[in-house]
Amino acid sequence: MQENGERGPGQSRPRRLLLCLDGVPYELIDAAKQRGLFDGFRTPARLLSPFPTMTNIALSAMFGATPPHGYESLYFDKTARTLRGGVSKYVGRRTPDKIASSYMNELDYQEPLAFEFLVYVAPEKVWRADMQRFHQHFRGAPQTRDYFAFLKGTDGLLHIRGPARLAVALESLDKILREIQSFCGKETETVLFSDHGMNLCQNARVHLKTFLRNRGFTWRGQLENSSRQSLAIPAFGLCGYAAIYCGARENVSVVANALVELEGVDFSIYADDEAVCLKGPTGAAHIERKENNGQVLYRYVNTEGDPLDLAAIRHSLREAELVDDQDFASDQAWLERTAGHIRPDVLRNLYTALYTHRVKHTADVLVSFRDGYYYGWSPFARMVHLAATHGNALSPSSNAFLMSTHRTFPDYVRADDAQPLLRS
């Protein structure tokens, strides 16, 4: 204890500050490190965010938390067969029904509820206020336990202002983290990470509903048993993916296959007979999974073209004799060869998107758009001009980051494997 009886650096037990920066891609934090920022941190790892690359999906995976109801605050309830949520989530105070996942119960700091929407209207003001409020709250918190904070302002800055404005914000954050380390002492570890990355380019809206209407489909907020040609397509944030729910099961493959003709589509996927069926502008493929003696294996079967650009990697696995007699290779072998791919860890990533509870109400069809394209709520699109976005399965959105003042992490870390690194 210090002479005045207060706890200070070196006097309290080691603790950990977990600080999540919403939407900051690996490449920008790596560039900041090269400019001399965050020099007290070890080399950043690429944290592979699950598809769709959205906040609640990623953080629930990273913390082993309950899955969110849907991909965004507006979602389709498959039990009630109707749309729920939306703008009402941001009105009033943060109540239990507005807690998307149990990871939010672990947060010691997050922005006031209204800021979640205002960050996309006035990102600089929200970021500055949010950063200072976090700093004050952290200094006033007990030094006897870990502290988990989530700063959403970075996501708004990138969406609306682009990487140049984020660079300025990161300089301010670097100063605050230096002050925190001086205040807490070197025994306090800071783990800085993000939930997903971001494509850093101008984005145009995909006219998804118009395209499907021209092919005989309609859309509505509630799907009746009689509405076989109807689709529910939640549209909220301006993101690089779409989730589609079909009124009739037989239309799932029809919708997925038709979308290859829509400008901006990278691929669409749906589940069928324990496999992932994938269709893209350059071909079609299946992703299959099996277990053998407790080991998980995947197989990539391209039935037309090579829509995931994996033929060369599959050939290398064969040459290295890492496939079995059915052409399956281990999950680890695929990860080692695809972690740095344009679609990182793509086989497992897409399989788990459809066959695990990433969300409680999994879409019938998931669509990943190419960088430069987005889908979302049209009134919101008229309010803002997108300088960047996320949501698709490509590397700019999939490569989040993870770095520590005390530990060096592996080059690549899956979101599903991050919990022991964050909460050990």
Which of 149, 163, 74, 152 has its CA nearest to residue 117? Answer: 152
- Return the pLDDT at 10: 41
Q: Over its length of 424 residues, how does the chain's per-residue pLDDT go in tens digits?
A: 333 333 444 444 468 999 999 999 999 999 999 999 999 999 999 999 999 999 999 999 999 999 999 999 899 999 999 999 866 665 555 556 656 789 999 999 988 766 666 666 677 788 888 899 999 999 999 888 899 999 988 998 898 889 999 999 999 999 999 999 998 888 889 999 999 999 999 899 999 999 999 999 998 888 876 678 899 999 888 999 999 999 999 999 999 999 999 999 999 999 999 999 999 999 999 999 999 999 999 999 999 999 999 999 999 999 999 999 999 999 999 999 999 999 999 999 999 999 999 999 999 999 999 999 999 977 666 667 788 999 999 999 999 999 999 999 999 999 999 999 998 6
Q: How does DSSP classify residue 97?
A: G
CATH 3.40.720.10 intervals, the chain: 16-66+101-200+390-423
CATH architecture of 16-66+101-200+390-423: 3-Layer(aba) Sandwich (3.40)
- Quick count: other Cβ atoms within 10 Å of Cβ 357? 12
- Torsion on CA atoms 395, 396, 397, 399, rounded to nearest 10: 70
Do 80 and 243 contact (CB within 8 A), yes or no?
no
CA distance 283 to 278: 9
- Count other C-beta atoms under 10 Å from residue 228's C-beta: 14
Among candidate residues 140, 119, 161, 153, the one with its CA nearest the CA of residue 19 = 153
Quick count: other Cβ atoms within 10 Å of Cβ 392?
28
d(CA 278, CA 176): 46
- Sheet strands (E) in 258-319: 265-272, 275-280, 283-292, 295-305
- The 8-class DSSP code of residue 247 comes to S
Q: Provide the phi-psi class of 212: left if phi over 0, else alpha when psi is between -120 and 50, else beta.
A: alpha
Distances (CA, A) of 262 to 182, 193, 206, 212, 379: 54, 35, 8, 9, 22
**What confidence score (pLDDT) does residue 8 get?**
41
* Three-state DSSP class for residue 312: helix
Instruction: Take residue 53 and report the two structure tokens written for it.
Output: 């690359």
How much is the pLDDT for 9? 42
- 314: left (phi > 0), else alpha (psi -120 to 50), else beta? alpha
